[in-house]
Every structure is written in structure tokens, then in C-alpha cells.
Amino acid sequence: MKPIVAIVGRPNVGKSTFFNRVTRTRNALVDDLPGVTRDRHYGDARWGDVDFTLVDTGGFPGDDEDDFAHKIRFQIIQAIDDADVIILMLDGKSGISPFDEDVVQILRTQKKPVFYAVNKIDGVEHEVKLYDFYSLGIERLYPISAEHRYGISDFLDDLTDILPKAFSEEPGDLIRLAVVGKPNVGKSSLINRILGENRLLVSDTPGTTRDAIDSVCDVNGKSYLLIDTAGIRRKARVSKKLEKFSIIKALRSLDRCNVALIVIDAHQGITEQDVNIAGYAFERKCGCVFLLNKWDLVEKDSKTVKRFHERLRMEAKFLSFAPILTISALTGLRVLKTFSIVEEVYQQYAYRIGTGQLNKIFEQATQQNEPALFRGRRLKFYYATQVSTEPPNFVCFVNYPEAVHFSYRRYLMNQIRDKAGLDKTPIRIIFRKRTGKTQK
């Protein structure tokens, strides 16, 4: 599980600019995966060899100053509870505000590390503006400019030095399942059906589940950790600050799991937000299973299942490998069959291909369909190896890594899926330049 860093501070101090700078959000907007929402309040970041999740607590409309201060204070408290490290962003251009003083007092009572960054310091000649901020009683201030990159490298070096390393909280012999979906699609009802008891609160009111809740169950001699999560709404509909942080916890659960059970209300139909949630799971390289819940309420004919499958495959093409199962948490229809499918997905998710078999697949694939020339030269595939599992990750050494077109990468991935029987798991291929030998 990745450590979480939360950025707090008043509006217009540059939190979002810093967030975009560190997460490279604007670069990530160029993507060929349809339906994956990129406009969000959280982002995955990497500095050096340290991965972490960055949370932008965002700005708030302030019609009433007292209400405005109350909302921001509430959000900061939530950020402190959820984060491993806090960044307080201050505005070097406009100076200290009474709100800054209040926040510093709140943060002083916390045992978690706090970094104080004074933004909009565009160069060393502007660092004189730091002096006023020392009146807040802060020992270390970081002068930065999120817009112009000034001081960012030194700041991130110190920040990542104290971050806890990514880790897994659960023992390895449990298959970890995160149950995700929109509010009120039946996630808690599904887990209660599996557990055979009303362990989780079930309500028709969307948003009943606020935290990720863990339950352990045994099915057919196998142990599973079920993680119930808060419903993930569209960003435009997330108005309550508590719910925003519930969403962060739901997304964090995806970092913990082996397989994501993406629950969709079949009676309501497949929506854009269902596809967005599937995109979150895909980005985290989880094994995935689509569960079309409330199937007992769907009016059916001989082609109903086919229509649902075709629609889901069309809308969520990036998860074309994910199995689809129709269930009813209310009646128990095919609920236990979920685990036989999960077992298939997990076996592939944790599968390791022998090096000899893998290179044979690559050799046959490249001979059957040769890659295009690169600047008049032949693209050569020298050697491939699997470097990790969960999911299977492969490294292939070539003479020109930048010449491998995304369509040819997809072709090779499909060949691995077909020849190695990995049709139900995400896989990844990384192309690297072979070193130590002269390229011709």
C-alpha cells in the first residue's frame, strides 16, 4: 500500500499547480483508454524510487467567511486522519493570513510529519519573503514555485526521505478482494450474502459505508479478505467533504487488493461512472471481475445477457480480459460462483511463465508478424523475461525500444495471452535497450 501525502491550505495558494507538477497530471491526460476520468483530487506520484499517493484537498466556495473557515478546518482534520504526511501550502506572494495561523496551530498538535512549503517564490531573490512566515514559529520553511519548478527537487527529496515504504498489510496466503462500485449498487449486501450474516450496514441511502471494512471468509477451503468500500460518485456530485475522503479510502483499497470486484447495478444499466471506476482498478493493475448485480430485477429475453456483455466490452475496452458474471446479492443467484471465477483470475494474476516458453512466444510472434522498419532499420527482439507477478510483468530487450508502436505492443500482449493462457489478467510489457553490445 502506498503512503499518502495530503496537501492542505487556503484556496489560491497553488495546491493544484503543485499537485499537477508532482503527479504530471497534465501529461497523463494524453491517453488512449476511453472512459478513464483523469480530473480528480488524488494522483499517483513517483520521485526517485519512491511511490506515493498525493491528495489535493481542493478549494471551496466561501459565501460566508465563518462557514468557509469551518469547511476548510473540517477538511484539514480529515486529511490529517487519512494521510501519512501533511504538506501545508502557504502563499509567498500574498503573505500570512489568520487562517494560516489557525492551521499551523492544528498541525502542531499532530504526531505526523508536516512540511511547510511557501509557494510562489520564483527564485532566490524572492526568498526574502520567507521572513514573515517565520513568525508562525515554524523551524523549517521550503521556498518553492510550483509553476516555475523552483525548489521542487530539494523539497521532494526531503519529503520522500521520510515516507514509509509501500507495503502490504495482509498475510500472503489470503486472496484480497476489494468490492468497489457506485453508491447503492449492492456492495454491502453482496458481502453480507457471502458471510451469511448482517455484518455490514445495508441501507437504501447512498453513501452508508464510509470506510473500507475488512472481513475474512473461507470458501471451498480457500481464505479470502473482503474489503467493502465507500461508493465512488462522479466528482461533480461529491459535495460533502467526508465523502471525498471516503473515496480516497476506496481507491486506497484498490492498492491493497489482488482482485477488484466491480459491482454494477444491472437494473439501472451500465453508466459512465461504472466505466470510470473500472478505469481506477485498471490503472492499479488489479485483477478484475465485473459483477452485474440485481439481475433478478432485470427484464430478460434470450439476448439480454449478450447485450450487457457487448455494451460493457464496448464501454470498458481496456478491461476486455475481465470476466463478467450476472448475480443477485438479494437472492444469492450465482454469488458463490464468483469465487470460482476469482480463483481463475488470481491464478493467472500470480502466474509465472518459464523464460524458455516466453522467448518462444516472442520468437513465433515476431516471425509471424514482423514489426515495421524504424528509420530504415529492422527492429530486433533479443530476449524477454518475466520480472514479477501480480500482475505478470515482462521485460523485452530490443535494439530500439522507442520504435515499438503501441499497436505492436498490444499484438505481443495478445500473443502472450493466447499462448500462455493469460486471458483473465492484466499484463504489462516493458521494452528496454540491450546494453553491453554494439547495435547494428
Residue 370 pLDDT exceeds 60: yes
Dihedral pair phi/psi, residue 185, rounded to 5°: -95, -5
Residue with cell 495546491: 15
Residue 1 pLDDT exceeds 80: no
Average pLDDT for 157-165: 89
Average pLDDT for 404-411: 93
Identify the three-state secondary structure at position 317.
Answer: helix
Residue 90 pLDDT exceeds 50: yes
Q: Measure the CA angle with vertex 250, ends 245 and 255; round to 5°.
A: 120
Compute the half-sphere exposure of residue 192: CA atoms within 13 Å on the CB side of its CA: 15
pLDDT, residue 68, reads 47
Number of H helices and E strands in the chain, helices first, is: 12, 15
pLDDT, greater one: 319 or 196: 319
Which segment of 22-36, 334-348, 395-409 scores lowest on mean pLDDT? 22-36
pLDDT, residue 41, reads 62
**pLDDT confidence bin for 423, thresholds 50/70/90:** very high
Catalogue the E-assigned strands of 347-434.
Answer: 381-388, 393-398, 428-433
**pLDDT confidence bin for 245, thresholds 50/70/90:** low
Residue 388's contacts (CB-CB under 8 Å, 6 or more residues apart) are none
Buried b (16+ CB within 10 A) or exposed e, 369-405: eebeebeeeebebeebebeeeebbbbebbbbbeebbe
Q: How many residues does the chain have?
A: 440
329 residue type, one letter = A
Identify the three-state secondary structure at position 155.
Answer: helix
Ramachandran area for residue 186 (φ above 0: left; ψ -120 to 50: alpha; else beta) = left
183 residue type, one letter = P
Dihedral pair phi/psi, residue 232, rounded to 5°: -100, 110
Q: Do domains 175-349 and 355-433 have the same CATH topology?
A: no
pLDDT in tens, 92-103: 988 998 888 888
pLDDT in tens, 212-235: 567 788 888 888 888 877 666 655
Average pLDDT for 96-111: 85
pLDDT, residue 234, reads 58
- Residue 348, CA distances (Å) to 61, 93, 283, 421 in order: 48, 54, 18, 8
**pLDDT confidence bin for 176, thresholds 50/70/90:** very high
Pick from 270, 195, 205, 263: nearest CA to 229: 263
- Asked if the 355-433 domain carries CATH number 3.30.300.20, the reply is yes
Average pLDDT for 149-161: 95
Q: Measure the CA angle with vertex 411, ends 406 and 417; round to 5°.
A: 125
pLDDT in tens, 371-388: 988 888 888 999 999 999
| Most confident residue range from 34-38, 200-204, 373-377 | 373-377
Could you give the percent of the chain with pLDDT greater than 70? 79
- Set of cell numbers at residue 200: 455490514
pLDDT, residue 322, reads 97
- Set of cell numbers at residue 31: 491517453
For the 175-349 domain, the top CATH level (class) is: alpha beta
Could you give the percent of the chain with pLDDT greater than 90? 50
This prediction has a pTM of 0.63
- Set of cell numbers at residue 415: 500473443
Q: Which CATH superfamily is domain 4-161 in?
A: P-loop containing nucleotide triphosphate hydrolases (3.40.50.300)
* Cα four-point dihedral sign 345, 426, 278, 319: negative
By the 8 A CB rule, do 256 and 290 touch? no
pLDDT, greater one: 44 or 26: 44
Q: How do the domains of the chain map onto residue ranges? A: 4-161, 175-349, 355-433
Identify the three-state secondary structure at position 9.
Answer: coil
Q: What one-character DSSP code corresponds to residue 153?
A: H
Which segment of 5-14, 118-127, 339-348 scores lowest on mean pLDDT? 5-14
| Most confident residue range from 65-69, 272-276, 343-347 | 343-347
Q: Which residues pair with 86 in a beta bridge?
A: 6, 114
H or E element at residue 15: helix 15-23
Q: Give the Cβ contact number of residue 61 at 10 Å.
A: 9
